[in-house]
Each structure stands twice: as structure tokens, then as C-alpha cells.
Amino acid sequence: MSEKMQAAEEKETAGAAEARLLDMRDVSKIYEIGQVQVRALDGVSLVFQSGELVVVLGPSGSGKTTLLNVVGGLDRPTAGTIRYGGTDITSLSDGDLGRFRRDHIGFVFQFFNLIPTLTARENVEFAADLVSHDSRQTEERARELLKLVGLEERADHFPSGLSGGEQQRVAIARAMAKDPDILLCDEPTGNLDFRTGRQILGLLQMLTSEQGKTCILVTHNTAIAAVGTRAVRLRDGRVQSDEGNASPLPASQIEW
Ligand SMILES: Nc1ncnc2c1ncn2[C@@H]1O[C@H](COP(=O)(O)OP(=O)(O)O)[C@@H](O)[C@H]1O
Ligand SMILES: [Mg+2]
């Protein structure tokens, strides 16, 4: 076993001992537009553990993106606390919150958001370089990750020369570049046909079950709940239900 793998395994064991990775308590987010207040999140309390693939379901406007944004430190809640291990990220300064986000959170978006002037490899290296400035290390990390997502042979293609599914796989490799504890995925299959969507969901299943990542996937597509280890339903910014799924369906078998 390589030193790197051993280190990863030790990290996972430590993660298991401290499974309560993320703890949201009474989190609310109110947007004010002129005199109008929009309660995008309304007293949400959720605990996320290492290795979970949590599918957060809700219709458009139910607060899914807001949930990811406050958990990922892209936005601050109006009230409540969000703890990672011992740190309440709501009390961090802007600079510390930015560093926290850079080092610990991987984002995956519906429209991939790759940098169009960089190749697949360079997109991943660019993200890896934010955390380590050792160019040999970032090159190796990018190569490993593109292999993990099955795109070694496309490494030198620009996003415009890749299919939607391939672009999303690059985006997942990019999100993994910093070896984050958490992947936050906002409608990751929303712009893909269902066959390609299955591959993306399979990749997320692998990253949670084999690498111990925690994935929070938000979607309006209720069929996707079947592949998760847990389903949370949001409505009008509130948690309607929160249910474990003891036997997630392999993504290759999902129909929608
Ligand atoms: N930046 C913002 N400013 C004002 N209102 C917002 C903003 N972001 C989201 N909202 C409102 O908050 C509610 C939840 O939005 P959102 O989290 O994007 O829902 P979803 O992702 O489930 O479609 C909606 O009513 C939306 O219009
Ligand atoms: Mg949304």
C-alpha cells in the first residue's frame, strides 16, 4: 500500500471516529429585496456524517441552492450555527471563511462551470494549485483524478471538445482536487441525458462509499433519491422529512 493510500485510510478512520462531520442548527436565511422578505431557509437543523450521499429534494424555490450556499460558505445564514468538527463557520471572518471554503469544500454545478480556455487537465490543476503550489504534486493529482473519473485520454481537450457528461466528470475531478471532506452538488445531472446522468451519480456513489466523502446532492428530480443513503425533503425552506435509505440502488439501475 502506498504511503498516500495509507494516509488516506488513516484519515478515513479518523473520520469514522468523528462521523458527525457537519451540524446545522436552526439555520435561517432571509433575503430582503426592498421591503419584501424572502425566507429561503426557515429553521433548518440537519446533521451530516462522513460517507453519506444525501439527496435533498424539493421543488424550485424550496431553498435547495441556498442550503448548499450557506453550508459551503458562499453565503452567510441570517440565524443559526453551522459546525464542521469544532468550528462554527458562521463566526469566521470573511478571510477565514474563504480559506475554509477553498480547503474543505468541493462544488459541482448544473452547468459544469469549467474555465473554457483551460484544458481538462489544466482545469483540475488550477484547483489543485489553490491548495498546493508544488507543480509536480498538482500535475500528479490532476492525472490521478482524471483517471478516477475515466477521462485520462481526454485530459488535453478543452471543455468545448467534451460532451456534457465528460465536462461534469472534469468538474467532479476539479471539486476533488483539494481532497475535500464534502462535495456539494447542485442539480449535477440537471443538464444531462439520463444515461450520462447515471454515470455521474455512480461516480458520486463511489466517492462516498469508497472514499468516505460526504456528498450533499440537491435536485428537484425525485427519482434520484433512490441512489442516496438518505433523502431530505425541503419545502418553503423547511425540512419536511429526513429518511435513511438502507439499500441504495446502484446508479446504473436508476430510471427517470
Ligand atoms: N440572492 C437572492 N436574493 C433574493 N432572493 C433569493 C436569492 N436567492 C434565492 N432567493 C429566493 O429564495 C428562495 C429559495 O431559492 P433557492 O435556494 O434558489 O431555491 P431552489 O434552489 O430550491 O430553487 C426563492 O424564493 C428565491 O427566489
Ligand atoms: Mg436551485
User: What confidence score (pLDDT) does residue 85 get?
Assistant: 84
Residue-range domain boundaries for the chain: 3-118+179-253
Radius of gyration of the chain (CA): 18
* pLDDT per position as a tens digit, 46-99: 999 999 999 999 999 999 999 999 999 999 999 999 999 889 999 999 999 999
Residue 64 Cα to ligand 2 midpoint, Å, equals: 5
Phi, psi angle pair for 85, to nearest 5°:
50, -125
Residue 9, pLDDT > 80, answer: no
The protein residue with its alpha carbon nearest to ligand 1, atom 25, reads 61
Residue 14, pLDDT > 80, answer: no
Confidence label for 16 from pLDDT (cuts 50, 70 and 90): very low
Residue 140 Cα to ligand 2 midpoint, Å, equals: 34
**Residue of 27, 29, 37, 38 to mutate, ligand 1, most atoms within 8 A of C-beta:** 38
CA atoms within 13 A on the CB side of 17: 5
Which atom of ligand 1 is the closest one to the Cα of 59? Answer: 22
Cα-Cα end-to-end distance for the chain:
40
Task: Give the global pTM.
Answer: 0.90
What's the CA gap between 66 and 46, in Å, rounded? Answer: 14
Q: What's the mean per-residue pLDDT of the chain?
A: 91
Q: Give mean pLDDT, residues 10-34.
A: 75
Q: Give the homologous superfamily in CATH for domain 3-118+179-253.
A: P-loop containing nucleotide triphosphate hydrolases (3.40.50.300)
Residue 3, pLDDT > 80, answer: no
* pLDDT per position as a tens digit, 200-215: 999 999 999 999 999 9
Nearest partner of 177 among 149, 151, 133, 138, judged by Cα: 138
* pLDDT per position as a tens digit, 133-147: 888 889 999 999 999
